[in-house]
Each structure stands twice: as structure tokens, then as C-alpha cells.
Structure 1
Amino acid sequence: MFLKADYRRCILVSVLLGLGGCNKPLEDSIAEKIESENQRVNSAAANTQGKKLTEVAGKATMPVDTTTATQKKIPENAEPYVGRYQSSISCADPLMKCKEGTGDLIINLLADGTAHSSIIHLGQITFDSDPYYHKDSWSYDEEHHQVILHRSNGVKFFYNVDQDQSLQMDLDKIANASEQNKQYFAEGHPFPQQAYRLVKESTPVKTNKS
């Protein structure tokens, strides 16, 4: 009886020791996976932090190509329309390319003749992603009192300037002004669901301190 009990006890101890030896590599493998996942999450969080609205969209200017800035200057009659324009638009409009809530459509018209258009959603923006950011040029049509954004693909977006110097989309011209415009939207690119009004950001008045 004692021999059998000792024999069984020896077998049980051997099995447990064997399991313990097998568990060590498994634990190491799990630890490595967890560490790898933590690094991935931290890296993603750092990238998101780098795109926060406070860092890239809170100013009145956007990234500017300095070579372009020295080559082109808008005419004097267009200078009053230099500035930052913004409109909050529902994500239900495909123009905004977001799933829920609202996003901000922002256009910066610079004195060097460049126009920087961006879509901001949940405080984030991606500069290197075409659907969310465009660097274009702009002009002012004095006869029709309109600001025109000129895309590199030949498509033009027209904005009426109101008495407050805000910009309101001219949907008819955007849709039909040229063959390039007609083809662009016929290909399925999102067309604004309504004539959105982009309000010009007021420029702080500077005062001289004695």
C-alpha cells in the first residue's frame, strides 16, 4: 500500500513539474505579445496626439510653400478677402467624409494666392490625406463679387461674398461652370447638399500700449 501511494505521488509530482516547465515558454510568449501590443497602442496614440486640432488648425494660417509665396501675389482688390473661413457641417453630408456628428470645413485664403482647404472631425486632421486637405489657388472675381478656388485638376469652386465678407457656396456655378466641373461630379465626387456659408474669422484689433 505504501509503495503504491509513493509511486502515485511521484507520478503526480513529475506531471506537475512537467507542466510547470511547459508553462514558462507560454508565459514568455504571452508577455512578448502584450509588450508588442502596448508599443503599437502607444505609437498610435502618439500619432493621434500629433494631429490634434490645437496644433494644426487653431491658427489663421495653414502650411505654406515658401517658394510659391514669393512667386505670386493677389491683386489689391482681393486683399480684403484674405483670411480664415469656417463652417460646421453635418456628417450626413458626404462632402464631410465623416460618419457621425459634425465636422468643420475650413478654408484659409492667403495673400500669396494659395488656398488651404481642410476638413476637421473630432479635433483631428490629416494633412497628407487627399480627402481631408487640399492646397489650391484662389482668385477674386470683382464683376460677380465671388471668391473662386482653383483646384489643380481644373475644377473650380465658387463662393459669393456677402456683406459680412463671409463666403457662401454658389451651387449652380459649382455644378455647371465648366466641363471639368460637370465631369468631376458625374464621376461620383461628393457635391454639397446645400449652399453652406463659411464665416470669416474676425481679426483681433491691435492696440498700441503706451
Structure 2
Amino acid sequence: MFQKADYQLCILIAVSAGLIGCHKPVEDSVAKQIKAETSAVNDTQDRKLTEVAGRATVPVEQAESRIKKAIPDYAEPYIGRYQATISCDDPFVRCKDGIADYVINLQEDGIAHRTLIHSGQISFASNLYHRQDHWSYDRQNHQVILHRSNGVDFFYNIDKDQNLVMDLDKIVHASALNEQYFAEGNPFPQQAYRLLKEKVS
């Protein structure tokens, strides 16, 4: 019985050794196949990533081009920040006492932001909350036109230093909507304020 157990053990060891020896070529073959498949997948992923990255770049550049095209080249000199200090005695700035800074930012994408700054508090000039305005340049009349979100247009003459000066007559009478807006009691500037262009250093 002892000899039979030894014999079985020897057979088991021999079979195990044979199987272990057979596994090496199989493992090598499988490893090569996995490596080839992984390499192919990586190449495909690399190509896909390159294509995606390439595609992602183009629309962004196109979007930037479109943004820049919103304002024609001849209007670019008027992009910038303009500011006037106005007494609170003028109902136009909607403050009780002291002074307020009236700021207009004209951006290259055609968007304009109007802001009133009084006593360290910021409020937007359109019903005390922000509405996106737009602007354009009238080449014939050499004016910047601020197209307010409520449909009312404000006109600014451009002086020799590229500051903006309100054209009060045109603001009141430019359209039936403008006339109606001020006839309803909305505050109208008491004088043609000059908004000084901020110097870019």
C-alpha cells in the first residue's frame, strides 16, 4: 500500500511538471496576443483622442472668431471701459445723496454692461438687476449706440479723445419706444455726461 501511494505521488508530480512545462509556451502565446490586442486598442484610442482633441480645438477657435466678428474692425477702437461720476441730485443714477459712478463696459463680442456704483454698493442700471445689453458703432454719425435690453437705445458721440458723450436729443427722439419710455417717467439724464475712457497701460 505504501508503494502504491509512492507510485501515485510520482505520477502526480510527473503530470504536474508536464503541465507546468506545457503552460510556459501557452502563457507566452497568450501574453503575445494580449500585448498585440492592447497595442491595437492603444493605437485606436490614441487616434481617437487625437481626433477628438483636434475637433475640440477647431470649434473653440471658430467660436472665438465669431465673437470677434460681432464687432467690425472699424469699431474695435471703442472697445473698453468708460466711466462718469454723477451727482445723486440727478435721478438718472437712482441714488439719494452723494455721487455715483456710472460705468459702461463695451466688449468685443458686442455685449455691453452698465453699472452704477454708489457708496460701495453695486447695482445694475436696469431695474436694479443685470440685463444683457448690446452695443454697436454707427460709422456715419460717429456714435456708439447702447442697445438696452428693454429696447431703448442710448446714443453717445465720440470726442477726439475717444470718450463717450451722451447725445440727449437723439436719446429722447430716436424712436417711438424711446419717447414712450421717458414719457412714462423713467429718469432722463439732466446733462450730456462725458464718460471717460479708461486708459489701457
Is the shorter-chain TM-score for this pair beyond 0.5, marking a shared fold? yes
- The answer (yes or no) to whether the contact 2:166–2:193 under 8 Å persists in 1 is yes
* Structure 1 counterpart of 2:99: 102
In structure 2, give the amino acid aligned to 1:155.
Answer: V
Once residues 196 and 105 of structure 1 are traced to their aligned partners in structure 2, the CA distance between those partners, rounded to angstroms, is: 10
Q: CA shift at 1:87, angstroms?
A: 0.2
* Structure 1 residue 148 corresponds to structure 2 residue 145: yes
- The answer (yes or no) to whether the contact 2:115–2:125 under 8 Å persists in 1 is no
- The answer (yes or no) to whether the contact 2:86–2:100 under 8 Å persists in 1 is yes
In structure 1, give the amino acid aligned to 2:170.
Answer: K
Once residues 74 and 93 of structure 2 are traced to their aligned partners in structure 1, the CA distance between those partners, rounded to angstroms, is: 31
* Structure 1 counterpart of 2:108: 111
Of 77, 81, 96, which aligns to 2:78? 81
**1:34-49 correspondence runs (5 A):** none
- State the aligned residue count: 138
Instruction: Using the aligned pairs only, state the percent identity.
Output: 62
Structure 1 or 2: larger helix share? 2
* Structure 1 counterpart of 2:196: 199
* Structure 1 counterpart of 2:133: 136
Of 153, 161, 165, which aligns to 1:168? 165
In angstroms, what is the RMSD of aligned CA positions?
A: 2.2
Once residues 105 and 69 of structure 1 are traced to their aligned partners in structure 2, the CA distance between those partners, rounded to angstroms, is: 31
**Cα offsets for 1:143-164 (capped at 9, x unmatched):** 1000000112221000000000
In structure 1, give the amino acid aligned to 2:175.
Answer: S
| TM-score, structure 1 normalization | 0.61
* Structure 2 counterpart of 1:187: 184
List gaps (5 residues or longer) in structure 1. Answer: 1-66, 205-210
Q: Secondary structure of the equivalent of 2:122?
A: coil
